[in-house]
């Protein structure tokens, strides 16, 4: 086993534990935003997509690179924006409260 692979395996195993540990106590109301947030984080595949697209020169690699970059960017941008919209709802509650009675229909 090469040194590099060994290193990578170490990162992998440690990341498993961190991943489990870090969200072990999450209230139910945050399940949906948390899922959406982790969803955005795996958009890191955009790094991989850019790496393979950068050196593209045959029609096949160009097509693969283009689609991969498009999909991955959609994942990253959409993931973060939609999570932010969700969490905005939670935050907007306090300042919105005083306005609420007026906004209600008379």
Least distance (Å) between residue 10 CB and other proteins? 10
Site string for other proteins, 71-100 (x = CB under 8 A): xxxxxxxxxxxxxxxxxxxxxxxx-xx-xx
- What is the rounded distance in angstroms from the CA atom of residue 91 to the CA atom of residue 98? 14
Q: How far is the CB of 98 from other proteins (least distance, A)?
A: 10
Q: Is 3 in the site for other proteins (CB under 8 A)?
A: no
Q: Which of residues 37-76 bind other proteins (CB under 8 A)?
A: 37-57, 60-62, 64-76
Query: By the 8 A CB rule, do 66 and 54 touch?
Result: no
Q: How far is the CB of 6 from other proteins (least distance, A)?
A: 11
Binding-residue pattern over the window 10 to 39 for other proteins, x denoting contact by CB under 8 A: -xx--xxxxxx-xxxxxxxxxxxxxxxxxx
């Amino acid at each position: 086993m090469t040194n590099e692979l060994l290193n990578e395996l170490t990162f992998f195993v440690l990341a498993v534990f961190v991943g489990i540990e870090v969200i072990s106590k999450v209230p139910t109301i945050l399940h949906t935003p948390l899922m959406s947030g982790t969803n955005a984080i795996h958009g890191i595949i955009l790094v991989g997509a850019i790496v393979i697209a950068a050196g593209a020169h045959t029609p096949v690699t160009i097509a693969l690179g283009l689609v991969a970059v498009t999909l991955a960017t959609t994942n990253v941008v959409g993931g973060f924006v939609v999570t932010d919209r969700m969490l905005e709802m939670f935050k907007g509650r306090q300042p919105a409260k005083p306005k609420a009675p007026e906004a209600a229909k008379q």
